[in-house]
A and B are shown apart, each in its own frame.
Chain A
């Protein structure tokens, strides 16, 4: 490992760091594609009632297991076909984005806020608070994520809010560790020492001096975690531990199509594609952001 100092200039030195990031993002086509994909999914989730041709739970028993429109037997009435209950697959996929996106966004948001707050306090003041919270974080880290989430959902019961809670209980740790580490290392730097000598209080120094310097790392971590959370949500829904059965979610749609793979492959595969494209978009954006904002990785290329 090289111990060369990081190029300090690229960190928060620019007067308009966000403008610069956006410009660089426009210059990286993969990141831009990722951002556009995410935007399209957001529009889909928000405008689901307008976009979906049918209600996601409307059953038409005469139109069961209809293939997508481009296959023989398909019809333009149901572009992506129907499932075993005659529900329109396109409508269910459009509505399914709501569960995935809201669970993903809110669990990351809560983890970001809780993790950063605890990490800042622990990193700045150290002492007993740091010891206790870090110990809890270590303990939680030792449990496999999925096993933990399955337990939590079995206790909490199905529901979007419970999914958010179950996933957040463990997801805050990475944000905690990131912020704690950053604060510990920033604390010894001149600008923080100077601010302390000027009599600034701890919270002011954290919010006004240190946070602007780590905001990039937080954005990158949040983006990359978002994709992971969406896969976790889908996994729990797949096992039947996600949302109640009547709510359309991609994971449970994939599970429902397993029994009809032989004569209706589309029921399982298409919702999976919806997950894949969204997570791909998120990861493309996340990795591009990391490449342009993390000088350590920049130096590597």
Chain B
């Protein structure tokens, strides 16, 4: 029954997905300047003839309806064309960058939940203690801080001053790593390559902390406030009065209910994790999808922007679906 509902949900998101792709196709083309302008702009003395020749090579001189038809025909066969600026296939670029983005987003999510959730619950249980006040103070800072600035502070302290962590990239360029999944931490473990694991891990710390900081603050605040609310409920008082241990009361009776709002909020914030990575990836030179989108928008690399947004759309839909499934699992009263 539930599987049917999941499949149904997937089908329901198709119209939105198609609409997004159509919108992006036309939106990139109404941006001022086209890729040829941008490429030739830096080259200096280029004749009008050369410019026209380049446009026709790229198919940019065809009527927009024809360009769109070509794009749809290609996309339907899984062919997203070639990058205009990088002479690589768009699909290859996406395959290269996507695992980097996923690795970073997962690391940020893990960081936010593994720290934010215990902090929030502890603060709720020890309400108004100094730990509570301190952690809520930090959470308040976390939601008021621009992520990119926080990242730069991290680089200044841990890379430039202390030399503990690298400033950018995913892996020390002197190291070789055979790519299997594209998730460097996983690949280095699979290969038993501990030097690469260490390098990948140290490269990941600052970007993941930067990307996850705001979410951590949000998770801590939400889990605290929902835990405080749940702890006041009758059934928790009843469990206590039955003489149950406080830890049992908290973990068996209160926590599952307090988790529901937290999961909802984490779900809503998936967009921030996936959309916020454009800034964080740019700050840390992280070779992921977000940085690729920003670079392609500046270069007006139409084909890459289209492909990247398509991939964003798919990821987004699947991530939301996953959140919904977790949500139903936690709260059986709600059906998908």
Measuring CB to CB, which residues of chain A are less than 8 angstroms from any residue of chain B? 139, 142-147, 150-151, 154-155, 157, 227, 231, 234-235, 238-240, 251, 254, 257-258, 261-262, 265, 268-269, 272, 275-276, 279-280, 282-284, 300
Contacts and interface: CB of A to CB of B under 8 A. Distances in A.
B148 A254 contact: yes
B272 interface: yes
A203 B282 CA distance: 48
A151 B274 contact: no
Contacts of A147: 275, 278, 293, 309, 312
Contacts of A143: 20
Contacts of A145: 271-272, 275
Nearest to B320: A142
B27 interface: yes
A268 B160 CA distance: 13
Interface size class of B (residues with CB under 8 A): 35 or more
Contacts of B156: 261, 265, 268-269
13 contacts: A142-B316, A143-B20, A145-B272, A146-B275, A147-B293, A154-B297, A227-B144, A251-B146, A251-B148, A254-B146, A258-B283, A280-B141, A300-B229
A231 B278 CA distance: 14
Nearest to A282: B144
B275 A144 contact: yes
Given A145-B271, A261-B160, A279 B282 contact: no
A265 B156 CA distance: 7
B11 to A, nearest CB: 16
A166 to B, nearest CB: 12
Interface string B187-208: 0000000000000000000000
A268 B140 contact: no
B275 A254 contact: no
Interface in B113-146: 140-141, 143-146
Most B-side CB within 10 Å, residue of A145, A151, A227, A282: A151
A194 to B, nearest CB: 35
B294 A239 contact: yes
Contact of B152 (A144, A150, A234, A269): A269
Report, nearest first, the 4 A-B pairs whose CB atoms are least far apart: A144-B275, A272-B149, A279-B144, A144-B271
B152 A283 contact: no
Contacts of B283: 258
A291 to B, nearest CB: 12
